[in-house]
């Protein structure tokens, strides 16, 4: 059988990796797919650089629409990024009856409902394994491998840039800016790195995991998004003393009244495997009722790890291209008529435990006032650390770990504690998860 023909839109980091791995492993990939997979046309605004990557054998154009218009192309791979032109091109490729593979989590987390509906209408596939945790087959796991389970929660380190920053700051004592520049140099960061450090990229990925795990539409606008820019070295040290490590986690969890969807710095017990995931590595823990806890670990960014996921999707589509569209694996794991309207919960209704750090006057009675306010709000204390004030110092740090409560109760308690005249600086609050 003839090779299936692929058109590549954008040949930067991931596109370059995809071209190289497809070339290097073509025989094995063909053996798995049943047909060869051939990059038959490439579009990139920087067509000179694109030509230097693909050589003479593959036509290169600067206008992506020429690829979409080419009747020989069966699958369009979108590796441009962003919500702008990428959205138009993906919708045009679908309208032209092409299958689409994309690594673009931003696009799918925000416009997924429209894109998947258009694809269903046309009977084509939009595959996106590379969009969550790069090379780790987490989409495959959630959609197929765990299909027997009622999934309880999924939580992961799903942004390599921020994990790299936190690891390097902790282990080498380097400052934030220096490490961010290094992450950009290594090709981990998004074109706009505020997406990484403010938690937006992780929230795009958590949004996709939430839809796959619970059969709900993608709802990025309902996600709680917090990054690592406010995190202080002091809190990383105190957490360590208490037996915890701080990671930026994307979390989605089923509760009685709805679904939690949130990204924020999180204390995790140092004894958990995921607390020891360092550098740009990613890891996702998924809890299913039948399987129990499962862990997926690997490279979440970079040219070839991400290419690994893009090509797995190409193989899937090649195998399935002839199957009746109604009998393909559904985009979001559940069949369209089984998509649930269970709401995403407002943050005030989210349950977590907390790490609190209060800068307090070193005076008798401070501690009892703080613990009284927590008790009045029905928040119980799990552990406490009070640094002795140094010689001649009139203030000290009070660190408290609480048991699980709601965000709403904690917000009320925080306002009350902050109003005490013995609390001398804004209270630091970091959420804590046991992940077991």
Ligand X SMILES: NC(=O)c1ccc[n+]([C@@H]2O[C@H](COP(=O)([O-])OP(=O)(O)OC[C@H]3O[C@@H](n4cnc5c(N)ncnc54)[C@H](O)[C@@H]3O)[C@@H](O)[C@H]2O)c1
Ligand Y SMILES: N[C@@H](CCO)C(=O)O
Q: Which residues are catalytic?
A: 205
Which residues contact ligand X (rule: CB under 6 A)?
9-15, 43-46, 64, 79-81, 85, 103-104, 130, 134, 187, 190-191, 301-302, 306
- Reading the block at residue 353, the tokens are 């435990």
Q: Which is nearer to ligand X, 235 or 316 (CB)?
A: 316
- φ and ψ at residue 378, rounded to 5 degrees: 65, 30
Q: Cα-Cα-Cα-Cα dihedral of 48, 53, 58, 62, to 10°? A: -30
DSSP 210: H
> Interacting stretch for ligand Y, rule CB under 6 A, among 5-13, 114-122, 155-163, 174-182?
155-163
> If binding is defined by CB under 5 A, does position 316 make contact with Na ion?
no
Plot region of 127 (φ>0 → left; ψ -120 to 50 → alpha; else → beta): beta
User: Shortest approach of ligand X to residue 11 CB, angstroms?
Assistant: 6
Chain centroid, CA 8 distance in Å: 24
> If binding is defined by CB under 6 A, does position 108 make contact with ligand Y?
no
- φ and ψ at residue 21, rounded to 5 degrees: -70, -40
Q: Which residue has the tokens 């990204």?
A: 263
* ∠ Cα 297 75 89 (to 5°): 95
298: partner contacted, choices ligand X, ligand Y, Na ion, none (Cβ within 5-8 A by kind): none
Q: Which is nearer to Na ion, 136 or 423 (CB)?
A: 136
Query: Number of residues in contact with ligand Y, rule: CB under 6 A?
Result: 11
Q: Which is nearer to ligand X, 132 or 410 (CB)?
A: 132
User: Shortest approach of ligand X to residue 342 CB, angstroms?
Assistant: 28
* ∠ Cα 391 394 399 (to 5°): 95
User: Shortest approach of ligand X to residue 76 CB, angstroms?
Assistant: 12
Report the alpha-carbon distance of residue 433 to residue 262 in Å, rounded: 12
> If binding is defined by CB under 6 A, does position 433 make contact with ligand Y?
no
- Reading the block at residue 46, the tokens are 């920087």
> Interacting stretch for Na ion, rule CB under 5 A, among 99-107, 131-139, 148-156, 290-298?
131-139
Q: Which is nearer to ligand Y, 296 or 355 (CB)?
A: 296
Which residues sit opposite 399 in a β-bridge? 357, 385
Report the alpha-carbon distance of residue 76 to residue 273 in Å, rounded: 38
302: partner contacted, choices ligand Y, Na ion, ligand X, none (Cβ within 5-8 A by kind): ligand X
Q: Which is nearer to ligand Y, 87 or 120 (CB)?
A: 87
User: Shortest approach of ligand Y to residue 211 CB, angstroms?
Assistant: 17
> If binding is defined by CB under 6 A, does position 300 make contact with ligand Y?
yes
> If binding is defined by CB under 6 A, does position 206 make contact with ligand Y?
no
Q: Which residue has the tokens 């290169």?
A: 60
> Interacting stretch for ligand Y, rule CB under 6 A, among 141-149, 186-194, 271-279, 289-297?
186-194
Q: Which is nearer to ligand X, 78 or 316 (CB)?
A: 78
E-strand spans in 175-312? 224-225, 244-254, 259-269, 281-288, 292-299
> If binding is defined by CB under 6 A, does position 309 make contact with ligand Y?
no
Nearest to 307 by CA among 37, 35, 4: 37
Report the alpha-carbon distance of residue 136 to residue 51 in Å, rounded: 30
Residue 280's alpha-carbon distances to 134, 166, 297, in angstroms, are: 11, 10, 11
159: partner contacted, choices Na ion, ligand Y, ligand X, none (Cβ within 5-8 A by kind): ligand Y
> If binding is defined by CB under 5 A, does position 129 make contact with Na ion?
yes
Cβ–Cβ < 8 Å for 347, 374: no
Cβ–Cβ < 8 Å for 128, 139: yes
129: partner contacted, choices ligand Y, ligand X, Na ion, none (Cβ within 5-8 A by kind): Na ion
- Please pick, from the candidates 10, 12, 16, 134, the single residue that binds ligand Y as defined by CB under 6 A: 134
- Please pick, from the candidates 44, 78, 129, 196, the single residue that binds ligand Y as defined by CB under 6 A: 196
> If binding is defined by CB under 6 A, does position 129 make contact with ligand Y?
no
Element (H, E) at 314: helix 303-320
> If binding is defined by CB under 6 A, does position 301 make contact with ligand Y?
yes
Nearest to 160 by CA among 105, 85, 224: 105
80: partner contacted, choices Na ion, ligand X, ligand Y, none (Cβ within 5-8 A by kind): ligand X
Instruction: Give the interface with ligand Y as residue ranges (CB under 6 A).
Output: 134, 159-161, 188-190, 196, 201, 300-301
Instruction: Give the interface with Na ion as residue ranges (CB under 5 A).
Output: 129, 132-133, 136, 138, 309
């Amino acid at each position: 059988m003839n090779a299936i023909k692929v058109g590549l839109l954008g040949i930067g980091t991931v596109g370059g990796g995809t071209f190289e791995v497809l070339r290097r492993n073509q025989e094995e990939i063909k053996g798995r797919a049943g047909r060869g997979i051939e990059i038959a046309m490439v579009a990139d605004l920087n067509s000179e650089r694109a030509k230097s990557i693909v050589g003479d054998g593959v036509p290169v154009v600067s206008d992506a629409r020429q690829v979409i218009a080419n009747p020989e192309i069966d699958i369009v791979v979108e590796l441009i990024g962003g919500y702008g032109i990428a959205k138009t091109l993906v919708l045009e490729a679908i309208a032209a009856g092409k299958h689409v593979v994309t690594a673009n989590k931003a696009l799918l987390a925000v416009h997924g409902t429209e894109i998947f509906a258009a694809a269903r209408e046309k009977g084509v596939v939009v595959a996106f394994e590379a969009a969550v945790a790069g090379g780790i087959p987490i989409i495959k796991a959630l959609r197929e491998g765990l299909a027997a389970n009622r999934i309880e929660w999924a939580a992961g380190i799903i942004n390599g840039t921020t994990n790299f920053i936190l690891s390097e700051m902790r282990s080498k004592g380097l400052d934030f800016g220096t490490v961010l520049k290094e992450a950009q140099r290594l090709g981990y960061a998004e074109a706009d790195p505020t997406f990484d450090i403010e938690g937006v990229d992780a929230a795009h990925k958590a949004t996709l995991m939430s839809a796959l795990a619970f059969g709900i539409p993608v709802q990025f606008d309902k996600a709680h998004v917090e990054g690592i820019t406010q995190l202080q070295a002091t809190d990383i040290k105190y957490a360590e003393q208490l037996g915890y490590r701080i990671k930026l986690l994307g979390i989605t969890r089923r509760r009685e009244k709805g679904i939690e969807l949130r990204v924020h710095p999180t204390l995790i017990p140092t004894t958990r495997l995921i607390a020891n995931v360092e550098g740009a590595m990613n890891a996702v823990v998924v809890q299913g009722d039948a399987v129990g806890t499962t862990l997926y670990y690997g490279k979440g960014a970079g040219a070839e790890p991400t290419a690994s996921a893009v090509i797995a999707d190409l193989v899937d589509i090649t195998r399935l291209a002839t199957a009746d569209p109604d009998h393909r694996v559904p985009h979001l794991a559940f069949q369209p008529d089984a998509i649930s309207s269970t709401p995403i919960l407002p943050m005030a209704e989210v349950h977590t435990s907390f790490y609190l750090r209060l800068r307090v006057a070193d005076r008798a009675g401070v501690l009892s006032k703080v613990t009284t306010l927590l008790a009045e709000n029905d928040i119980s204390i799990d552990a406490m650390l009070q640094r002795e004030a140094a010689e001649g110092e009139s203030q000290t740090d009070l660190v408290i770990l609480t048991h699980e409560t709601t965000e709403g109760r904690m917000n009320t308690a925080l306002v009350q504690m902050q109003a005490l005249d013995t609390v001398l600086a804004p209270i630091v609050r970091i959420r804590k998860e046991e992940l077991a």
